[in-house]
Structure formats: C-alpha cells, structure tokens
C-alpha cells in the first residue's frame, strides 16, 4: 500500500495530464489477513451550493460544460490515500511523499507523451469560448514561457511540492483543512465558482463491498456504482454464453460477439448507473446469470442488433492506473484520474494542481438516475480490476481510458481465460474500441455506433466485420493503458502497456 500511494503521488507530478490531488481515486485491495477483497470508493461529491437550475442555465447544448467551475466536484484522491494508509500502511505517512516532493521541487525530464498532451491542454484551455473562469494559474505552472515544456526539457512544480508538504505534515487535514482548504475556498470565491471549504471538510471515502461474477472458473471483481465496474461483469456474463475459443482468436465471430455484449451492457450503464445514495440500483439483477442469458439471446452471428436498449429491471470510464503486490500476499489495484485530460482547466493559487472535471458526467435530464444534484457523486468511469481463482488472489489489473475501461478489462480477461495468452501478450494483443452507445449523461446512442480496430487486427477480421455492417473510424490510439500483476505459486509476474509510458518494477 505504501508503494502504491507513493507511486500515485509521484505520478501527480510526472503525469499531470492524467491524475493528481485534484482528482478522484478508487481501489481494490486483497487483504491477506482477512483473506478477502476490500473496496474503496474515493469519489467526491458535487458542490452543495451549485444547484440543478444553475447547471441547466450554464449548460452547453443540454449537457454540463466540460471545463470550468460547473464541472468541478470535490477531489477525493488525498482522502482515499489517507483512508487506505490508515488501514494498510506500514511506513510513516510523511515518508510516502518524500520522493514526489523531491521530484516536484527539483524537476524531471518531460517524456514525449506528457509533452504532447500538455501542449494539447494549453490549446484547449486557452481557445476562445473554452468557458474557463481563469487560465493564468494553469499557464503559470505548466506554460510559464507561453508554451508547454518540450520533450526532454526539465520541468519542476515547486507549488505542488508545497502542497505535498502540507499533506505530508498534516495528513488528510493537510489538504481538506488549513492553508490548502483556505486557498481553495478563496479561489472559487474569486472566480465565481462553488466548491467550498465546507465541501472539502465534509468529504470522506467509503469502504464498499466489491461485486463479482464467475467467468469460466475465474472470479472477476468490480466496484459497484457510482463507478462503471459492473459493466465489465455484465459483458463477461454475456460472453460466457458463447464459445469464444472455438470462434478463434481475433476472429470476426469473436470480435462481433464481444462488441455486441459491450453494446448491451452499456445501455444498462446509461440507464441505471448512479450514486447509490440517490438512486435504488438493481445490482443483483444486472449481474445475474439469468439476465445475462436473456441478453445473450439477442446476439445474432450474422447481423448487428438494432435497436439496442437497456433491460427492464424488475419492479422491486484520461486516467492513471497502477498496481502493487508484496511477499506477504497483499495486492493493490488502484486507479486515479482528473477525468478528461488534465481536468477542468482550473488550478488554485499557488498549489500547483488542477481540479477534476468529473462533474461533466452528470445528466441534466429529468428522471435519469444520474441527474445532477448538489452533494451527489457523479457517474464514474475509473475502475480498478481484480480477479481471484479458488478464493485466492490471482490478478490485479486495469485498463485506463474513459469508456474503454470495461471494454478493455473484458478483452484482457478473454485473452487470458479463453485464449490462454500470457500476462504481457494479453495486453499487447490488438484491441477494439466501440463508441456511440448511450451515456449516463443523457446522451442517446447513435445508430450502431462506430468501431475502431488497432492496426494489428487481422485484415480478414476487419473485412468480415465490415461485411456484417460495422462502421469503422480511423484508429486514434484510444485503446486504454494496461497494467497488471499476476500471482503465481511462490512468485509474481508483472506486465505493462506498450502503448504508454508504463513499466513493471520489482523491489
């Protein structure tokens, strides 16, 4: 746990395009003493002073604006780290932040991917009509000379080092109280926003019971809503009704079936997933084998299902993922994000981080489970992954990237279980990404959606899917980012993503 928190803190400086203390955090932890999996929901709530009426008045084409103060929800990451450390940490809390403080204070070379997306963020936040209340703080930290740092240049963030010192010295209260909370409160008052000191003080992470399904002898686990983790379980439940192995690896039939299972699961995601404090969610029904059999019966091998709708319940998804494991049997699957790229575009005075724009994922449509409300947690895309076999920990894994996450997690499990690939090969295998399903924001699905296939997919498979009627978009690299640790008898194996700057480290 100490390793996971320390790495996450370091990434807040090294990879600000994806994560940081302004975002949220979810985790699953195999507790070897208890002999079971624990889950933590570290997502923050919407500002209590921001009303539905104000959100609607400031909406863009009927949806919450992607940037600016209306998109900001309470950051949950620091409290999640604190909560995890209180239960599982061994080192002193302050020691976990020493490497990150040193990096932020003295700087590090900027990798290619980070340089690219910092430049993209600069253009997005400063374009006319972006709707961000102020961008000078962003430019002061990440573009002080009027441009983002180039690949290989040294970059430091002393302001973030200061924030980390406050957290290291004060624990949870170093962020949610004292100087940091005062600065955040004053900042939003100055720019006309809503997040307040009282919102920060009221925030606390929540221990939750992970849910699971058995997929061909492997128990795959997910966190319940407001995250989208159940979508992975639903996709796998549907796929279990088909003989994917006989269909063939990367075959037209296999991919067609997987994509259809995703489309069916995502309609339920759009309709039912929300903060359980505000909506009654039919979780048991959604992940039941009987419901999966009903949904699987809709899939046809020779045509695309249209229209695709959510099931009728009985009346009664830019992110950082990392995992860690040790010789005592603990395995940590942790995911942390600011949501869209760097986040809202808003950075508090002198603290060196950016607030998430997770609030964009609320719906503004009456009757939706995910309808915006003050003090409510938005639908969450970030989902840690975990799998067990025979009641023992087997796999801590994740696939980053918005709506790609449950699609990617299901593909990893299929590659490992159905096709017998090794841990690295399961991640290196070409992926598909389907877009255009209905969204929890209230956005309706568009026809059969569009499909992106990585370049390594067989040409015969691409032609076969096209013959079935699937519509393709050019590959955009949006196939997620995979990391994993697999427990073998007496040892561990690790794999990392070839598409990003990930790595596997042993200590």
Which residues are marked as active site? 319
Whether 427 contacts 497, CB under 8 Å = yes
Long-range contacts formed by 140-144: CB under 8 A, 24+ apart: 141/347, 141/352, 142/16, 142/118, 143/118
Whether 373 contacts 55, CB under 8 Å = no
Q: What b-and-e string marks burial along 118-142, b requiring 16 or more CB atoms within 10 Å of the CB?
A: bbebbebbeeeeeebbbbebbbebb
Q: Could you give the CA distance from residue 266 to residue 231 in angstroms, rounded to a whole number?
A: 7
SS (H, E, C) 450-501: EEEECCCCCHHHHHHHHHHCCCECCCCCCCCCEEEEEEECCEEEEEECCCCC
Q: Which residues are CB-contacts of 170 (< 8 A; sequence separation ≥ 6)? A: 177, 178
Whether 370 contacts 445, CB under 8 Å = no
Q: Could you give the CA distance from residue 477 to residue 484 in angstroms, rounded to a whole number?
A: 20
- Number of helices (H), then strands (E), belonging to the chain: the values are 18, 15
């Amino acid at each position: 746990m100490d390793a996971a928190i320390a790495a996450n803190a370091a990434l807040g400086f090294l990879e600000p395009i994806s994560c940081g203390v302004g975002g949220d955090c979810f985790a699953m932890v195999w507790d070897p003493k208890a002999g079971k999996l624990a889950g933590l929901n570290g997502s923050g709530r919407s500002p209590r002073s921001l009303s539905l009426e104000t959100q609607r008045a400031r909406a863009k084409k009927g949806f919450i604006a992607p940037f600016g103060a209306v998109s900001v929800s309470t950051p949950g990451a620091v409290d999640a780290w604190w909560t995890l450390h209180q239960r599982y940490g061994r080192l002193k809390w302050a020691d976990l932040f020493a490497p990150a403080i040193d990096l932020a204070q003295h700087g590090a070379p900027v990798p290619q991917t980070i340089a690219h997306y910092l430049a993209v963020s600069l253009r997005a936040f400063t374009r006319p009509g972006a709707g961000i209340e102020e961008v000078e703080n962003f430019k002061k930290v990440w573009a002080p000379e009027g441009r983002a740092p180039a690949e290989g240049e040294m970059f430091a963030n002393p302001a973030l080092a200061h924030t980390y010192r406050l957290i290291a010295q004060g624990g949870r209260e170093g962020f949610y109280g004292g100087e940091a909370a005062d600065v955040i409160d004053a900042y939003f008052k100055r720019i006309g926003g809503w997040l307040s000191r009282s919102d920060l003080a009221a925030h606390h992470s929540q221990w939750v019971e992970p849910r699971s399904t058995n997929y061909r002898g492997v128990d795959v686990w997910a966190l319940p809503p407001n995250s989208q983790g159940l979508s992975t379980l639903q996709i796998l439940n549907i796929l279990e009704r088909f003989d994917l192995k006989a269909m063939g690896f990367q075959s037209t039939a296999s991919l067609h079936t997987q994509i259809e299972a995703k489309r069916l699961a995502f309609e339920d995601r759009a309709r039912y997933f929300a903060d359980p404090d505000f909506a009654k969610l039919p979780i048991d029904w959604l992940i039941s084998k009987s419901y999966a059999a009903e949904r699987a019966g809709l899939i046809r091998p020779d045509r695309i299902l249209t229209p695709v709708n959510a099931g009728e319940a009985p009346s009664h998804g830019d992110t950082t993922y990392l995992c860690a494991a040790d010789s005592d049997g603990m395995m940590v699957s942790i995911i942390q994000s600011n949501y869209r790229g760097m986040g809202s575009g808003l950075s508090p005075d002198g603290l060196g981080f950016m607030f998430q724009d997770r609030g964009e994922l609320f719906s503004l449509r009456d009757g939706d489970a995910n309808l915006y409300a003050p003090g409510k947690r938005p639908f969450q895309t970030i989902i840690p992954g975990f799998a067990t076999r025979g009641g023992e920990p087997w796999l801590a894994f994740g696939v980053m990237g918005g709506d790609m996450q449950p699609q990617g997690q299901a593909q990893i499990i299929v590659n490992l279980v159905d096709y017998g690939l090794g841990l690295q090969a399961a991640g290196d295998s070409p992926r598909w990404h389907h877009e255009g399903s209905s969204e929890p924001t209230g956005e309706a699905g568009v026809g059969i959606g569009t499909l992106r296939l990585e370049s390594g997919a067989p040409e015969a498979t691409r032609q076969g899917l096209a013959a079935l009627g699937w519509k393709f978009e050019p590959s955009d690299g949006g196939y997620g980012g995979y990391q994993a640790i697999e427990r073998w008898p007496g040892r561990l194996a690790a794999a990392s993503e070839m598409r990003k700057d990930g790595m596997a480290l042993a200590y």
